Each structure stands twice: as C-alpha cells, then as structure tokens.
Amino acid sequence: MFVDADVEFSWTEEEVEDMYNNTEIIIAADVIYDDELTDGLFRTLYRLCSSFSHSCSVFISIEKRMNFTLRHMDVSCDAYNHFSRCLSQLVALQDGHCSFTVQQLPTHFSQFLLYDRIEQLELWKVTSTPTPSERTPPPESACSSLNAEPPTPHVPIHRSC
C-alpha cells in the first residue's frame, strides 16, 4: 500500500490509521480465478488481520469455475481447490498474532439485484480474532510498515497452500 497524500489514489496516513483502528468487515467478490492472485489475497488478508487489535470478518463470494484441464485430462476446478487449501492453511496458522475461523454461509438469501445465481456460487466468512496473551505491540506507525515488504507468516501462504 502506497502512502502519499500527494499521489492520486494513494492513502493518507490518517486513512491508514483509520483502517487499522476501525475495519471490522472486508468484502471480496469474484476474486478467485488465479492461484498467484489467490495467494496475494490471502497474504494481504493475513497482513491486515494480524495487525488489527480487534476481530474482523472477511466475506468472500466465489463461483466454482469448472474447466477442462490438460493436467487432469478432465473437468476440474483447480482455482477453487487452491482457494480451499488456502482457507485450510489460514485456519491452521498459529503465529501468536491472531487466529482464523472459516465458515461456509448459505446462499439461499433474497436477491436484491437481478442476476443469474448459479449452483456453483459460494459465500465464505473468515473471522480473525487477535490473540491477546501473546500479541506483540504494533509498530509505532502502522503506515511505516505499509511501504516495506509484508511480514512472512510463520506458515507461509504460497502456491502449495
């Protein structure tokens, strides 16, 4: 995240501080279709949630995309399978900063927009909860860590999730 008030579309230090202090919900829709981007999403979610001093709920909607793959010589859902492995790894992560729980939510709620809802639509809720007893103090300025490389979790989230 780039913090510079003079650059268009960048965040100010006040906005970043507000995000760290007040974010309770993160919403992501139709973002799971490439393994590297999925890894980036999970690294970002880990980085944000492990920096919060409060719980945060992340809602992710995903459409299972069935594709014929040469690797399997069959119809499969590789991006979804990778997403599932990353969810499992996030739940198993024990780093002393926070813990994660994952829950698949029902999708039979009322539609407020006109769209074709398919059977392969899934809604997931990921909840992060800070670990108070072993929590290390946050950096002096949350903004200073945003321009640096993200911290690597003790259990790295990568292509082999």
User: What is the biggest distance separating any 2 CA atoms in the chain, rounded to whole angstroms?
Assistant: 53
Our CA angle for 99, 15, 146, nearest 5°, is 60
Q: Is residue 16 part of a domain?
A: no
Q: Is residue 17 part of a domain?
A: no
Chain centroid, CA 22 distance in Å: 17
What's the length of the chain?
161
Q: How far is CA 120 from CA 64, 65, 93, 107, 123, in A?
A: 5, 8, 28, 10, 10
Q: Per mean pLDDT, which of 24-28, 137-141, 149-153 is the most reliable?
A: 24-28
Q: Which two tokens stand for residue 143?
A: 């903004």
Cα dihedral 91, 92, 98, 104, rounded to 10, equals 10
Domain range holding 121? Answer: 29-146
8 Å CB contact between 124 and 59: yes
Please state the domain count of the chain.
1
Task: Quote the mean pLDDT of the chain.
Answer: 79
pLDDT over 70 (residue 137)? no
Q: Is residue 46 part of a domain?
A: yes
Mean pLDDT of 98-106: 96
Per-residue pLDDT tens for 19-42? 999 999 999 998 988 899 999 999
Q: What is d(CA 153, CA 151) in angstroms, rounded to the nearest whole number?
A: 6
pLDDT of amino acid 1: 56
Which residue shows structure tokens 């039979």?
A: 108
Q: Is residue 13 part of a domain?
A: no
Q: Is residue 69 part of a domain?
A: yes
Q: Is residue 158 part of a domain?
A: no
pLDDT of amino acid 98: 93
Per-residue pLDDT tens for 35-85? 999 999 999 999 999 999 999 999 999 988 777 667 767 666 788 999 999
